[in-house]
């Protein structure tokens, strides 16, 4: 969190460098959360959920598994009741 998309250590950069730049996928179909946002994260997440809803849902989602067992940035202690974390 806090890294701009072009930063080599950002998730956005990693996904483009290792995956998206190597496949034929229109940029309009790639939706990576903005890791550089500041401020009201709850509002940002609600907007992200709304964008998913307006797009008709998610057809395919790729999630990474972290060293501590987190999946797609959902830490092991995340509430199962939350939608966007």
Q: Report yes or no on 20 lying in a domain.
A: yes
Q: DSSP 3-state assignment of 18? A: helix
How many whole angstroms separate alpha carbon 41 and alpha carbon 25?
A: 28
Provide the domain limits for residue 33.
11-54
Q: Report yes or no on 71 lying in a domain.
A: no
Q: Report yes or no on 41 lying in a domain.
A: yes
Confidence (pLDDT) at 52: 92
How many whole angstroms separate alpha carbon 60 and alpha carbon 31?
A: 11
Q: Report yes or no on 46 lying in a domain.
A: yes
How many whole angstroms separate alpha carbon 69 and alpha carbon 76?
A: 7
How many structural domains does the chain have? 1
The answer to whether residue 71 scores a pLDDT higher than 90 is no
Q: How far is CA 63 from the centre of its chain?
A: 8
Burial of 10 from C-beta contacts in 10 A (0-12 / 13-18 / 19+): buried
Closest to 84 measured CA to CA, from 51, 55, 46, 50: 46
Q: Report yes or no on 63 lying in a domain.
A: no
Q: Report yes or no on 48 lying in a domain.
A: yes
Q: Report yes or no on 72 lying in a domain.
A: no
More confident residue, 66 or 83: 66
| Tens-digit pLDDT profile for residues 19-62 | 999 999 999 889 888 888 888 888 998 999 999 999 999 998 88
């Amino acid at each position: 969190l806090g890294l701009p998309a072009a930063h080599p250590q950002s998730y956005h950069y990693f996904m483009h460098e290792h995956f998206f730049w190597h496949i034929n996928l229109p940029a309009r179909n790639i939706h990576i959360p903005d890791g550089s946002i500041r401020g009201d994260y709850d509002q940002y997440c609600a907007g992200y959920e709304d964008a998913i809803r307006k797009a008709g849902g998610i057809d395919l989602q790729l999630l990474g598994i972290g060293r501590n067992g987190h999946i797609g940035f959902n830490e092991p202690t995340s509430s199962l009741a939350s939608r966007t974390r």
